[in-house]
Amino acid sequence: MKTWILLGFLVVVGVFGACGKGGGGGGSPLVDKLPASAAGVMVMNRSGSEAEVRDALKTSLESMPVPEKIPDCAVDLIAKVDVLAVSFGDDPKVVVVAHGAGLRAAFEACMKSIEPKFAGKDEGQATGYGDGEGKDLYVTWLDADTVIAGGNGEGTMNAEYVTKLRSLPPLSGNAALSELRKKVDGGAPIWFAVDVSQSKELSRAIPPQIGAKRVWGEFGADWTGKLTVEVGDADKAKLVAEQAKMILGRATRELGPDFAKSVDISTDGALVVFKADVAAAARKVLGKDPPKAAASLAVVGVAAAVAIPAFMKNARKAKTSEATLHVKKLYDGARAYYEENHKFPPSVGPTPPLGSCCKNPDKKCAPDPKLWAEASWQALMFSMDDPSQYSYTFEAGGDTFTVRANGDLDCDGIYSTFEMAGKVQSDGSITGSAGMFKDQELE
């Protein structure tokens, strides 16, 4: 686990941090697209061509235990991003602004290639993307090259909300963050500044014994970086530094002395200062010098760590609408059958058999009327008339019933579950689930 965390750290810090010089100017216009209500901001700039970014990202992914295949179009999409600015706080929680030549066209083409039903629809100043049964992702395009997205959690990523992001007061109106930004090199390939006191959630997340107030830092050329944490007082700073050194010591036992030499931890009054030369750690993990090509990039690492999983999550989330829709249909069919016949049909399923869809080239089961010819499916008036990715089950047990869908969207042998249940009461009425039970939803 520690090795995996370190590998992720190397991609995020090494590929971004050692990208040469001069990226900050390009990031400045995007920074003021972020809201003044932010408690923290991170800006990443790329130098180097799309081809260099693409090749370095592919090299990094090949050398890491990536849990699933990353689509080539997602790699190409990230290669187009030349500036990425991110803010976080209480309201909005997260705002992301990205810029790259031809970004919108590349994004929409990739969405379409992953899920043919995916389509974008302009709704005022926002664009919603989904599979036709509901919009799973809303963004607002400032132009063909620049996009803003963000939200506050479930239920707020709608057209009205993301449109509002365009009109929020700019980050330059946040005096505390503006002052803190002066402590970092705005021209560094990656820099960040966080004022913990401006976020209730961040304040609650910080352990009292640490009492971090502000955090800032940057990563630059030669795979080096610096992080400064301002805590309550000098005594707390020494305590935090000692704890960090203990953690570093445990990592050293696993990764070797070169790793310890790559990180320096010191204090300066109420400040804890971390300095890192990531190349030494990369050399230990990779068994060779880190790729020189990566030293010309600024956006690949964090984009891979943040954008790709989110991108694929939204792509798979749209596919789960099949299970949600048909489990509800099956539940309603079971209730209707009981109200008419005062009993449930016999148990049936899973149909088609678990795992059978993954045996097909497109990982989908073709419609087959023979599968749904059994008496119970006919009684429930249930069948799949379009290509599907889930297996459906009806279970009857006296005065109770359960309907279920199981799927394996990535065909890794781990199944998702979508389930609803009902029970006959003494007066003959049926009470059911308050909602749909979901487990491993995106599997």
pLDDT band, residue 69 (cuts 50/70/90): low
3-state secondary structure of 297: coil
Integer Cα distance of 21 and 100 in angstroms: 19
Q: Give the pLDDT confidence score for residue 256 in this predicted structure.
A: 65
Q: Give the pLDDT confidence score for residue 296 in this predicted structure.
A: 41
pLDDT band, residue 379 (cuts 50/70/90): very high
If you average pLDDT over residues 4-14, what whole number do you get? 34
- Specify the higher pLDDT residue, 27 or 243: 243
Q: Assess whether pLDDT exceeds 80 at residue 291.
A: no
Q: Assess whether pLDDT exceeds 70 at residue 346.
A: yes
79 alpha-carbon distance from chain centroid:
18
Q: Give the pLDDT confidence score for residue 9 in this predicted structure.
A: 34
Contact 386, 405 (CB under 8 A): no
Of 246, 248, 210, 243, which Cα lies nearest the Cα of 229?
A: 210
pLDDT band, residue 133 (cuts 50/70/90): low
pTM exceeds cut of 0.85: no
Q: Where are the alpha helices (DSSP H) in 224-320?
A: 234-255, 257-261, 278-286, 300-302, 308-319
pLDDT band, residue 155 (cuts 50/70/90): very low
Give the Cβ contact number of residue 369 at 10 Å.
Answer: 9
Mean pLDDT of the residues in the chain: 76
If you average pLDDT over residues 406-416, what whole number do you get? 86
Q: Assess whether pLDDT exceeds 50 at residue 180.
A: yes
Contact 290, 56 (CB under 8 A): no
Integer Cα distance of 84 and 162 in angstroms: 17
Percent of all residues in the chain with a pLDDT value above 90, rounded to a whole number: 19
If you average pLDDT over residues 242-256, what whole number do you get? 73
User: Which of 115-129, 176-190, 259-273 is the most confident on average?
Assistant: 259-273
Six-digit token string for 436: 């749909």
- Specify the higher pLDDT residue, 295 or 402: 402
If you average pLDDT over residues 24-29, what whole number do you get? 46
If you average pLDDT over residues 27-52, what whole number do you get? 79
Percent of all residues in the chain with a pLDDT value above 70, rounded to a whole number: 71
Q: Give the pLDDT confidence score for residue 301 in this predicted structure.
A: 52
Q: Assess whether pLDDT exceeds 90 at residue 200.
A: no
Q: Where are the alpha helices (DSSP H) in 16-88?
A: 16-17, 24-31, 50-62, 72-80
User: Which of 181-195, 210-224, 228-242 is the most confident on average?
Assistant: 228-242
| 388 DSSP assignment | B
What are the residue ranges spanned by the domains of the chain?
Answer: 2-318, 320-439
Q: Per-residue DSSP letters for 327-385?
A: HHHHHHHHHHHHHHHSSPPPPEEEESPTTSGGGSTTS-BPP-GGGG-SHHHHHTT----
Q: Give the pLDDT confidence score for residue 5 in this predicted structure.
A: 32
Instruction: Write down the residue that tokens 């560094």 correspond to.
Output: 188
- Specify the higher pLDDT residue, 298 or 28: 28
Six-digit token string for 123: 């709704």
Contact 138, 157 (CB under 8 A): yes
Q: Give the pLDDT confidence score for residue 209 in this predicted structure.
A: 61
The C-alpha torsion from 337 through 339 and 340 to 345, rounded to 10°, is 30
Give the Cβ contact number of residue 26 at 10 Å.
Answer: 17
Q: Per-residue DSSP letters for 253-275?
A: HHH-HHHHHTEEEEEETTEEEEE
Q: Give the pLDDT confidence score for residue 187 in this predicted structure.
A: 66
The C-alpha torsion from 35 through 40 and 46 to 52, rounded to 10°, is -120
Q: Assess whether pLDDT exceeds 50 at residue 7.
A: no
Integer Cα distance of 322 and 389 in angstroms: 8
